[in-house]
Amino acid sequence: MSRVKTLQELFKRYRRPGDIVFAWAFLILSLFLVSQLDSQAPWKPSAKTFSQPAFWPTVAVYAMSLFAAFHLLSSFLSERLEGRWIEIWNWVKSVEYAGWFMAYVSLVPKLGYLPMTMVFAVLLGLRAGYRSLKVLGFLLLLAVIIVVVFKGFLQVKIPGAAIYEYLPTAMRSFFLTYF
């Protein structure tokens, strides 16, 4: 026969060590959004309340702020968990890949889709810990296949690189079209 769970057992939630930091960050973000409501979602003087363009954004942002405050309160009242800074460091480490993406996106218009895809495929392979020439060669081949499929077959419009201007005329048009 199964045992009946108490309400405390039913509503006990799993907490991560960085929970209180996340709760603070989310509350600060939601209060910032509250401070921006008047300029971003103004109320029209002649419209009815529920037909106001600002009504639902206001409800959503205030509700988000209220629930963020409850989250912070529940995190504050819960027992302290060890490993908070380890958890936060994991969050920070994940931002690294956004940096890789931003570098890639900013370099493609200057140096070209094919060269940058090849360089970043190998760099990310190295960053992930792959060191064998076989794997790095496969990553180079994969980068070429990706570029050919996207630019050649799918006709994705990616601006040509500034560096292609230095190529001879016949090669330049070929590289602008396919690479």
Over its C-alpha atoms, the chain yields an Rg (Å, rounded) of 26
Question: For residue 139, what pLDDT is reported?
Answer: 96
When pLDDT is averaged across residues 15-20 and rounded to a whole number, the result is 76
What value does the mean pLDDT of the chain take?
86
* Torsion angles phi and psi, residue 131, rounded to 5: -125, -15
pLDDT band at 171 (very low <50, low <70, confident <90, very high): confident
pTM over the 0.85 mark: no
pLDDT band at 141 (very low <50, low <70, confident <90, very high): very high
Structure tokens at 137: 């060669």
The domain segmentation of the chain, as residue ranges, is: 7-77, 96-178
Side-chain-side CA neighbours of residue 112 (13 Å): 19
